[in-house]
Amino acid sequence: MKRDVNRIITAVNVAMNATHLPPIQGDYSLGYLYGTVKMHKTGNPLRPIISQTPAPTHTLAKRLSKILTPYTPSKFCLTSSMELLEKIQDSPGDSTMAALYVESLFTNVPVDETIDIILEKVYRNPDMQPPNIPEESLKTLLDICMKRAPFTTHGGQMFIQKDGVAMGSPLGVLFANFYMGTVEERVFSQH
């Protein structure tokens, strides 16, 4: 994995004539699975969290998240509770307010579809210049960070998450926000 990722990172950095993405160096270990109890749910199920901190792609995933965050669709998002109060106060009496809730959002985010969404929002955005990373390289790096990052369980078994995003991944929130922002755009543009 390190060799594959470093080959792509080197090509991107050479094309940009700068060190834009940090190469993977040093020793790493697998991410690890742990859980927190959902006290507010019946039966107190566990919320699975995969810590990718010790994984070789963790620093890269953090850097990609920072690069991609400005492209996140946010037309229907509020940034604070104060903004919500202002919207309520300024809205006419016959207004309708809607909120979308997705049960187990992170584990239900389709990774391949979200990568396509990210590429569309980043490289075909009329309002912002794309980052200086070739589209195919970004697609491959996102795929590696999200679908080829192995982790272990408490019992020592090794797994790779193929779909859905993990809490604990630096790209988890970004993927959830891109996916939900796009769903909101589709739903609210029709109503």
Alpha carbon distance, N-terminus to C-terminus of the chain: 45
Q: Along the 191 residues of the chain, how does pLDDT read in single tens digits?
A: 888 889 999 988 888 776 688 888 888 888 888 888 888 888 887 878 888 888 889 999 999 999 999 999 988 777 788 988 898 888 888 887 777 677 778 888 999 999 999 999 999 999 999 988 899 999 999 999 999 888 888 888 998 887 888 888 899 999 999 999 998 888 887 76
d(Cα 57, Cα 55) in Å, to the nearest integer? Answer: 6
Burial class (CB in 10 A: 0-12, 13-18, 19+), 184: middle
Candidates 63, 70, 164, 71; CA nearest to 113 is: 164
pTM of the predicted protein model:
0.84
For 11, the token pair is 């090509």
d(Cα 147, Cα 114) in Å, to the nearest integer? Answer: 12
Query: Distance of alpha carbon 128 from its chain centroid, rounded?
Result: 19
For 75, the token pair is 């037309």
SS3 content of the chain, % helix, strand, coil (to 5): 45, 10, 45
d(Cα 151, Cα 111) in Å, to the nearest integer? Answer: 17
Q: Indicate the SS3 state at residue 106.
A: helix
Domain ranges of the chain: 2-189
Q: Indicate the SS3 state at residue 33.
A: strand
* Residue with token string 């070739």: 134
